[in-house]
Structure 1
Amino acid sequence: MSRRVVVIGVGNLLRGDDGIGPATVEALRGRVPDDTELVVSDGEPARMLDLWRGADAVVLVEALRTSPARPGELHTLTSAEAAGHALGTASTHAFGLGECLALAEALDQLPPKLVVHAVEVADVALGAGLSPAVRSALPELTERVAATVSQAYECNR
């Protein structure tokens, strides 16, 4: 029996540090098993649910806004921990991850395993490029996501 593992890099490459999700997806190419689905999303909840429909494990990579900001700091959250964050306050998107997870739970569409890897960001204003602090976090973030993907496949053995 094979597992369906999906990595979703949430964000927008044209909004500064919000591009960390897509940048991580690119960094993972060739570093995770070939059947791992690597996709980018703008974070819109209905599209997110479509992307992970039928998945055994989902790994989300997301930009996180905090106050006070500690740009480049990494966080790993379970779906319950991510849903526990105040709705609408942590994401860089109009609808945050909390709303997305609440919708998935209400529709009974949460995947069996969901892990969120988030990095605190500095600047999400229009303009390409990650800030130095967030760019320096990319290698460790990529390692953490790759390890989570490996663990998801190991659960099947």
Structure 2
Amino acid sequence: MLDDPPSVLILGIGNLLWADEGFGTRTVEALHRSHTFADNVRLMDGGTLGFYLIQHVQQADVLLVFDAVDYGLEPGTLHCVVGADVPRFMGAKKMSLHQTGFQEVLMTAELLGGMPRHLALVGVQPHTLEDFGGSLTPPVRAQIEPAIAAGLQWLEGLGVTATRRDIPLGDDERLSPPALELTPYERGRPAPEAASRQGDPRVLADPAVRFDPKPLPDAWQRLSVDVDNRRPL
């Protein structure tokens, strides 16, 4: 139990465009739709922001993370990790760049003396990742509500409580743009026959299509970029 109202960050991370990779984002969206919290609690869609999340992590006393994590378990298995083990699991089997980035965010926060006092990861073993534009697979989607329940139970143990909403959220109050919410996202997704997820065989198998790279002009090879101001030098 925490004495003073702590700064609490509930973070969903992942990439909506790669099937089960979007589990963390979908879970925090669902939590935001279904529950309210006190003013000291912030819900955030962290997406694949990586190091851009560092200031948010440093400001938090309590950090709850939802994510798809390769635990090496059966697809759809929910597993919770708390405390010092969280950074290790975030990078044990890297599935995407966002996991590497967030593991480094936690390590950097610790080096800078801004590590949250209480840390938990609620993760699910993904079933499918290589499905560009895909949505959550059934075994992973089925774990959204159990993940929310597990996260709320952990928070309650710290004295952080949630209240179920009586009135649904309006579109302008949601974490993500309306077009990226789960239902409209799936409704607007083309069928695999119209838009292949893993490379269109109509193109890849066409003998008229060939990969013929050209050397870069000499001027391009000398081009450098100022990454801070995003302009050529």
Shift in Å, 1:91 = 4.6
Query: How many angstroms does 1:73 deviate by?
Result: 0.7
Out of 138, 141, 145, the position equivalent to 1:135 is 141
Task: Quote the offset at 1:46 in angstroms.
Answer: 2.0
- Is 1:84 aligned to 2:83, yes or no? no
Which of the residues 152, 161, 183 maps onto 1:146? 152
- Given candidates 58, 63, 71, the residue that maps to 2:63 is 58
Deviations 1:35-60 (A, max 9, x none): 22110113444222222232221101
1:73 corresponding residue in structure 2: 77
Segments of structure 1 that go 5 or more residues without pairing to the other structure are: none
- After superposition, the C-alpha distances for 1:96-130 in whole angstroms (9 at most, x for unaligned) are 54333222222222111111111110112212310
Normalised by the size of structure 2, how large is the TM-score? 0.59
- Per the alignment, do residues 144 and 26 of structure 1 end up closer, same or farther by CA in structure 2, a change over 3 Å counting? same
State the shift of 1:78 in Å.
Answer: 1.7
Q: CA offset at residue 150 of structure 1?
A: 2.5
Aligned residues: 154
Q: CA distance change for structure 1 residues 118 and 150 in 2, over 3 Å: closer, same or farther? A: same
Q: Which moved more, 1:35-44 or 1:125-134?
A: 35-44
Q: Secondary structure at the match of 2:143?
A: helix
Percent of aligned positions that are identical:
25
**Any residues of structure 2 matched to 1:5-154 within 5 Å, and which?**
5-29=8-32, 30-35=34-39, 36-67=41-72, 69-85=73-89, 87=91, 89-94=93-98, 95=100, 97-125=102-130, 126-154=132-160
- SS of 2:147 mapped into structure 1: helix
Q: Tell me the secondary structure at the aligned position of residue 153 of structure 1.
A: coil
Runs of 4+, deviation exceeding 6 Å: none
Cα 1:87–1:140 shift into 2, 3 Å: closer
What is the Cα deviation at residue 154 of structure 1? 4.7
For residues 43-101 of structure 1, what are the alpha-carbon distances to aligned partners after superposition, in whole Å with 9 as ceiling and x for unaligned?
Answer: 4442222222322211011111244x511111111231122348462453352543332
Does the CA contact (< 8 Å) of 1:13 and 1:19 recur in 2?
A: yes
* Structure 2 segments unaligned to the other structure (5+ residues): 162-233
Larger Rg: 1 or 2? 2
Paired position in structure 2 for 1:4:
7
Give, in whole Å, the separation in 1 of the partners of 2:17 and 2:151: 22
Q: TM-score, normalised by structure 1?
A: 0.84
